[in-house]
Amino acid sequence: MPQAKTLSPRELRRVLDHTATRQHAARNRLMILCTHWGGMRVGEVAALLKGDVLNSDGTVKDEIRLTAQQTKGRHARTVFVSEKLRREIAAYLKTITERASTAHLFATQQREGFSANTACQTLNAIYQRAGIAGASSHSGRRSFITTLSSRGVGVRVLAKLAGHRSLASVMPYIDASDDMLRNAVEMVS
């Protein structure tokens, strides 16, 4: 099975623009951005509760602490949330009516939490409808890691941000674009 496509900023914009015109726009936008800007796995996104992202004073947390039950490898981890993603979370929270901190952050049409599989299918369908060939629910995570790598973030930091316990595990996520290769050879002279 081929690797999920890494998206350029222009392609991500295309997906977000498409999402804005569809039903559940705010929910789907934040689900996508949690993968692209937070490096979260789609199953982790599906498992998020309101209390995971909100402080007791109602502000958005700058670190999301995922329990072992919320992660793929059953190892608790921390997701560091950028200011840009915190603003997106805050905007989304204004659109939902559920107030309980134990409620799922993202709900299906039936008002229940997403399963990892349903969230995966939802993101895959969004990418397909936006016309991004080769993109899947894993594209956001690969794009997150590749973008940080291209900006000089070391592999050890990438592994921690991705929730990988082994440096070797993060390597397949890093895509080498033609622009990255061009920039690399320009460093020689």
Q: What is the pLDDT of residues 156-174, one digit of tens each?
A: 888 888 888 777 777 777 7
What is the spatial distance between Cα 87 and Cα 160, in angstroms, rounded to a whole number?
Answer: 23
Residue 1: its pLDDT value, please? Answer: 59
Q: pLDDT averaged over the chain?
A: 91
Q: Which of 81-85, 164-168, 176-180 has the highest mean pLDDT?
A: 81-85
Pick the closest to residue 130 from 27, 29, 26 (CA basis): 29
Residue 170: its pLDDT value, please? Answer: 75
Q: What is the CATH number of the domain that holds 53?
A: 1.10.443.10
Its domain, for residue 116, covers: 1-189
How many structural domains compose the chain?
Answer: 1
Query: Is residue 80 within 8 Å of residue 62, measured between CB atoms?
Result: yes
* Tokens, residue 47: 């498992």
Residue whose tokens read 């799922």:
104
Asked whether the whole model's pTM tops 0.85, one would answer yes
Residue whose tokens read 């592999």:
155
Residues paired with 80 in a beta bridge: 63
